[in-house]
């Protein structure tokens, strides 16, 4: 069944990681900004007393990034368990700066032994077609981009890399071998690009990311390239518009993004009623990218049924009941997958 459905999609063959990423940079996301020439940070410690009943410490960090002659700064928070040992950790690209947040059950993550970093994506650059504010303003002073210049997703991914830069300074309390980047919807797309372009992440988790994320685009139900470019073309590079109603001529599909993370680990989460993202196309993307991983996607059932989890391979998938939302259930599935595969 999988082979028949993939054959119908007429997908480009998997290439080397560098070749696939090069195509994605040129045709979909744009090239990520260069690394800063220098980084510094200000730490505000213990910003909430008795955080998580004393089971964690919550700090706020403001990181300053020198980019040429300019400096760009943005804040993020980190909650670290007070329990002894080195903790695996999430970098959560979030829609808000709240800790905890409705998309981030912080105390439960702490109770499961994880630290968590989180930042609000809009603190990096706005979620609109204004390329003169935040990081976008630093990169493009006049707000104009060349065809392969970074879209907003690439800028948010760049910011997640900078959070990882800071995390690496905490080697006494963090298990740096088990870093996980995660996000929901447009920020699930971002999490996948973050991991594909930074090998320091051992895991990536995309929740309900759909078109431009974890879903095969060819013959996809729900949102298409035409749909996404009508409203959110600024997430991508200008070249992406070439594929409006022209998906069959793309020299890539989203399996290139997932395969670009191999040989590290990837988990894709779908919601059964999220027809805009299209769970079947997300599940197919796992199968299409499977050959890039040491332990391939272990699944013989398509479509998945509610409650199914296919976690045996280095690329996994789960389907839950409900709508487009980053739920507690999704986090618990992610924790289970990480605990099965962590180094």
Catalytic residues: 185, 324
Distance between CA atoms of residues 284 and 9, nearest Å: 10
Cβ atoms of 240 and 181 closer than 8 Å? no
The 3-state DSSP class for residue 309 equals strand
CA dihedral 320, 315, 164, 154 (to 10 degrees): -80
Beta strand pairing call for 315-320 and 309-310: antiparallel
Written as six digits, the tokens of 246 are 């022209």
Written as six digits, the tokens of 6 are 């993939």
Distance between CA atoms of residues 121 and 312, nearest Å: 32
Angle (nearest 5°) at CA 322 between 316 and 325 = 75
Please state whether the peptide bond connecting residue 263 to the residue before it is cis, i.e. omega within 30 degrees of 0.
yes
Nearest to 78 by CA among 102, 68, 306, 52: 52
Distance between CA atoms of residues 292 and 289, nearest Å: 6
User: CA Rg, the chain, in Å?
Assistant: 19
Written as six digits, the tokens of 92 are 């959560």
Q: Which string of DSSP letters, residue by residue, matches 66-80?
A: EETTEEEEEEEEEEE
Cβ atoms of 293 and 314 closer than 8 Å? yes
The contacts of residue 262 (CB under 8 Å, 6+ apart) are 17, 289, 292, 293, 294, 314, 315
- The upper half-sphere exposure of residue 325, i.e. CA atoms within 13 Å in the direction of its Cβ, equals 11
């Amino acid at each position: 069944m999988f082979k028949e459905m993939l054959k119908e999609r007429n997908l480009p063959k998997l290439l080397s990681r560098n070749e696939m990423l090069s195509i994605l940079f040129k045709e979909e996301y744009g090239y990520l900004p260069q690394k800063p020439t220098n980084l510094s940070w200000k730490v505000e410690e213990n910003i909430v007393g008795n955080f998580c009943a004393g089971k964690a410490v919550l700090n706020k960090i403001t990181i300053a990034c020198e980019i040429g002659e300019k400096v760009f700064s943005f804040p993020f928070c980190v909650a670290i368990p007070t329990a002894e040992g080195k903790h695996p950790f999430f970098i959560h690209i979030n829609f808000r700066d709240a800790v905890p947040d409705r998309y981030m059950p912080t105390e439960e993550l702490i109770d499961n032994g994880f630290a968590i970093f989180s930042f609000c994506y809009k603190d990096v650059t706005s979620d609109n077609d204004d390329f003169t504010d935040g990081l976008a303003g630093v990169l493009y002073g006049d707000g104009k981009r060349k065809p392969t210049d970074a879209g907003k997703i690439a800028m948010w991914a760049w910011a997640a890399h900078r959070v990882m830069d800071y995390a690496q300074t905490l080697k006494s309390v963090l298990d740096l071998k088990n870093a996980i980047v995660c996000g929901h919807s447009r920020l699930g797309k971002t999490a996948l690009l973050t991991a594909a372009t930074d090998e320091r992440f051992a895991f990536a988790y995309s929740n309900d990311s759909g078109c431009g994320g974890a879903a095969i685009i060819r013959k996809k139900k729900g949102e298409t390239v035409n749909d996404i470019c009508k409203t959110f073309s600024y997430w991508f590079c200008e070249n992406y518009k070439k594929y409006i109603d022209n998906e069959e001529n793309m020299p890539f599909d989203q399996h290139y993004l997932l395969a670009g993370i191999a040989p590290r680990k990837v988990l894709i989460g779908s919601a059964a009623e999220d027809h805009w993202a299209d769970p079947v196309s997300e599940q197919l993307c796992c199968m299409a990218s499977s050959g890039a991983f040491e332990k391939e996607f272990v699944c013989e059932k398509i479509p998945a049924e509610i409650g199914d989890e296919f976690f045996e391979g280095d690329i996994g998938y789960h389907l839950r009941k409900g709508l487009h939302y980053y739920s507690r259930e999704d986090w618990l599935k992610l924790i289970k997958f990480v605990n099965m595969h962590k180094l």
